[in-house]
Amino acid sequence: MIPLFVRVHSKDNVAIIVAPEGAKPGVRDEDGFTVRDQIPQSHKVALARIERGAPVVRYGQTIGLANRDVEVGSWVREEDLSLPTAPKLEDMPLSTSVPEPLPSLEGFTFDGFKNADGSVGTRNILGITTTVQCVAPTVDYAARRIKAELLPRFPNVDDLVAVTHGYGCGIAINAPGAAIPISTLKYISTHANFAGRPLVVSLGCEKLQPSRLFASILPMLDEGNVIRLQDERGFGASVSAIMEVAEKRLVELNRRQREAVPAAHLSVGLQCGGSDAFSGVTCNPAVGFAADLLVRAGASVFFSEVTEVRDAIHLLTPRAVTPDVGRKLLAEMQWYDSYLAGGGADRSANPTPGNKRGGLANIVEKALGSIAKAGTTAIMDVASHGQKVTSEGLVFAATPASDFICGTQQLASMNLHVFTTGEGSPYSLSLVPVVKVSSRTALAEKWHDLIDVDAGRIATGDKTIEDVGWELFRFMLEVASGRKTWAEHWGLGNALVPFNPGPVT
Ligand code: CA
C-alpha cells in the first residue's frame, strides 16, 4: 500500500501527499492521522496545528511563516505562507562541517573517446562553431547537406552539431559582462565531444572575431578550419567551403574508436527543470546519491542554478572544503543578488506557475529540494559564470536557473548531463547526452518515451534512494559508452543560449 504522505525530516510540520489522485477529506492513515481538505498530489498537508506567524517546516528548515492559523490535516497552500528573508551572506559558517571523504569506488569504467588534451568524449561529433548569429542559417543549411550527403560515409562519427547562438555582434564586447558568453562559447567550441577542435564559421565584420573567441587558446585556432563568409563568392560557394572543410575533418574523426577509461573521466552537470514538491524527496536525492558515487569514483560532478541555491546557502558553506571555497560560494550569491537587484527583481522571481501547481510554495522550498542533487560530499571548488570546472569531486558551477541557459553554460564543462523533472520537460542538448529523471511515476508513465529513469518509485516505497541512485550511476556509464537516451533517440537538442549579462548596443 502506498503511504498517504511523505515527510522528509522529523522536525517537519508539513508533508506532501503521495497518491496521484490526491487525498480526500476524512482519509486516515494507519496511525489515525486524518486529512481535512481535498489535497492534490504533491501538495502539502499540515501534520500539526501551525499558528499564525509560526514557521512552516519542511526538510527540517523553515520554508515560510504561516499567515493564518492552520489546522492539522488541512491543505497548506502557497498563499498561506509568507516568504522568509533570504539567509544573510555575512557571518555565514565557512568550512565548519566538512564531510569526511567517502571510500573510493574502484573498477567502474566507460567506453569513451580519448582526446589529446587528456579529456574524454562521450560522443564523437563534428562541431561547427560560429562567431555570430548572422551566419547561423547558412551553417544550418550546410549542416543539413553534410548530414544527408557526407555523414553516412563516416560510421564512427555520431553526429554533427552546429554551435549557433544569439551572441557575437551588436554587443558591448569590452563590458565586464561580455567575458561570460565569450568564454562559454569558447569552451563549448573546444568541447571534448568535438575532439577539442571545431570548424569555425565567421561572417567577417562581427565584433566577436575568431581570434577573440579563442584569444586565450590561440594555438587551437587552426586557420585552415576557419571559413569567413564575406571572403566567399556567394551563398553556394560558402556552403561548398564549409562542406569541403567538414569532409576533411570527418575523415579524421572517423578514425577514432571508443576505449575503456575509468569513470573518473566523467564530468557530469546536474540540473532540474519543471520541478515539483516530489523533486526534493525522490529524483534529486537519488541524483545526490549518484553524485556521491561519481565523487567516490574520482569523477567531476557539479551543481548550478544560483537562485535555487541561494536560500539554502547556509547548508552549503559549512561543506566547503576550505574557507576560501566557502567565500567563493558567497561571492557568487552576492553577484547574483546584485544582478537581480539591477533588473528590479529578487529571488522570489524564480518559481514558475508549473512549480506552484506541483506543490512548491516558494523559492525556499524549491531551493531546499534542489540542493539534494549535490549529495553529501565536500564542495571542492566553485566555478564562476563562464568558467570551466577543473577540479574533481563536487563543484558548484554558477549559472542562472533557466534550463536552457544553465545547460548552455554547463556545456563548457560536462560530457554528460543529468536533468530531473517533476512537471516534465522535453529539454535536451545536442552536444552531450541528457539523462532525464522523473520525480513521479505518473510522469514516467505518461512520458514513457522521454523519461530515462523513474525516481517516483521512491515515494511509493517500491525503491530506495540508494536503489535508484545506483541504477542511475550504472545508466550514466552505459550512456557515456554510447547507449542512446530517449532525447537522443528523437534527436532533441534545444538552442544554445549563452548567458549575457552585458549590454546590447
Ligand atoms: Ca533549471
Q: How far is the CA of 272 from the centre of ligand 1 (A)?
A: 5
Q: How far is the CA of 305 from the centre of ligand 1 (A)?
A: 6
Q: How far is the CA of 423 from the centre of ligand 1 (A)?
A: 12
Given a contact cutoff of 8 angstroms between Cβ atoms, the answer to whether 64 and 44 are in contact is no
Single out the residue of 145, 148, 188, 193 nearest to residue 167, CA to CA: 188
User: Per the structure block, which three cell numbers stand in for 2?
Assistant: 502506498
DSSP-derived secondary structure for 340-361: HHHTT--GGG---HHHHHTT--
Given a contact cutoff of 8 angstroms between Cβ atoms, the answer to whether 298 and 392 are in contact is yes
Q: How far is the CA of 427 from the centre of ligand 1 (A)?
A: 10
Single out the residue of 306, 303, 284 nearest to residue 413, CA to CA: 303
pLDDT by position in tens, the chain (length 505) = 788 999 999 999 999 999 989 999 999 998 899 999 999 999 999 999 999 999 999 999 999 999 999 999 999 999 999 999 889 999 899 999 999 999 999 999 999 999 999 999 999 999 999 999 999 999 999 999 999 999 999 999 999 999 999 999 999 999 999 999 999 999 999 999 999 888 999 999 999 999 999 987 766 667 778 999 999 999 999 999 999 999 999 999 999 999 999 999 999 999 999 999 999 999 999 999 999 999 999 999 999 999 999 999 999 999 999 999 999 999 999 999 999 999 999 988 889 999 999 999 999 999 999 999 999 999 999 999 999 999 999 999 999 999 999 999 999 999 999 999 999 999 999 999 999 999 999 999 999 999 999 999 999 899 999 999 999 999 999 999 999 999 999 999 999 999 999 999 9
Q: How far is the CA of 274 from the centre of ligand 1 (A)?
A: 8
Q: How far is the CA of 103 from the centre of ligand 1 (A)?
A: 31
Q: How far is the CA of 217 from the centre of ligand 1 (A)?
A: 30
Q: How far is the CA of 452 from the centre of ligand 1 (A)?
A: 18
Measured CA to CA, the distance from residue 447 to residue 469 in angstroms comes to 21
Backbone φ, ψ for residue 452 (5° rounding) = -90, -35
User: Per the structure block, which three cell numbers stand in for 489?
Assistant: 533517440
Q: Are strands 416-421 and 434-438 parallel, antiparallel or unpaired?
A: parallel
Q: How far is the CA of 455 from the centre of ligand 1 (A)?
A: 18
Q: How far is the CA of 71 from the centre of ligand 1 (A)?
A: 34
Given a contact cutoff of 8 angstroms between Cβ atoms, the answer to whether 436 and 421 are in contact is yes
Q: How far is the CA of 271 from the centre of ligand 1 (A)?
A: 6
Torsion-angle region of 133 (φ positive above 0: left; ψ -120 to 50: alpha; else: beta): alpha
The residues that bridge with 421 in the sheet, in sequence order, are: 438
Q: How far is the CA of 447 from the centre of ligand 1 (A)?
A: 19
Q: How far is the CA of 404 from the centre of ligand 1 (A)?
A: 8
DSSP code of 146? I
Domains, the chain, in order of start with CATH, read 1-85 (2.30.130.110), 112-254 (3.40.50), 271-490 (no CATH)
Helix, coil or strand: residue 110? strand
Q: What is the pLDDT of residue 218?
A: 66
Q: How far is the CA of 348 from the centre of ligand 1 (A)?
A: 15
DSSP code of 73? T
Q: What is the pLDDT of residue 10?
A: 93
Q: How far is the CA of 458 from the centre of ligand 1 (A)?
A: 22
31 exposure class (CB count in 10 Å sphere: 0-12, 13-18, 19+): exposed
Measured CA to CA, the distance from residue 19 to residue 3 in angstroms comes to 8
Measured CA to CA, the distance from residue 436 to residue 439 in angstroms comes to 10
Measured CA to CA, the distance from residue 505 to residue 500 in angstroms comes to 13
Single out the residue of 71, 53, 70 nearest to residue 62, CA to CA: 53
Q: How far is the CA of 301 from the centre of ligand 1 (A)?
A: 16
Q: How far is the CA of 74 from the centre of ligand 1 (A)?
A: 31
Q: How far is the CA of 360 from the centre of ligand 1 (A)?
A: 15
Q: How far is the CA of 304 from the centre of ligand 1 (A)?
A: 8
Measured CA to CA, the distance from residue 193 to residue 157 in angstroms comes to 10
Given a contact cutoff of 8 angstroms between Cβ atoms, the answer to whether 366 and 355 are in contact is yes
Q: How far is the CA of 430 from the centre of ligand 1 (A)?
A: 17
Given a contact cutoff of 8 angstroms between Cβ atoms, the answer to whether 210 and 218 are in contact is no
Q: How far is the CA of 296 from the centre of ligand 1 (A)?
A: 25
Q: How far is the CA of 437 from the centre of ligand 1 (A)?
A: 13
Q: How far is the CA of 113 from the centre of ligand 1 (A)?
A: 29
**Where is 424: in which H helix or E strand?**
none
Q: What is the pLDDT of residue 223?
A: 73
Q: How far is the CA of 357 from the centre of ligand 1 (A)?
A: 17
Q: How far is the CA of 102 from the centre of ligand 1 (A)?
A: 28
Q: What is the pLDDT of residue 259?
A: 97
Q: How far is the CA of 242 from the centre of ligand 1 (A)?
A: 35
Backbone φ, ψ for residue 84 (5° rounding) = -70, 160
Q: How far is the CA of 485 from the centre of ligand 1 (A)?
A: 19
Q: How far is the CA of 38 from the centre of ligand 1 (A)?
A: 30
Distances (CA, A) of 392 to 102, 278, 298, 406, 431: 14, 29, 6, 20, 22
Measured CA to CA, the distance from residue 33 to residue 27 in angstroms comes to 8
User: Per the structure block, which three cell numbers stand in for 476?
Assistant: 550514466
136-145 and 235-254 helices cross at what angle (nearest 10)? 60
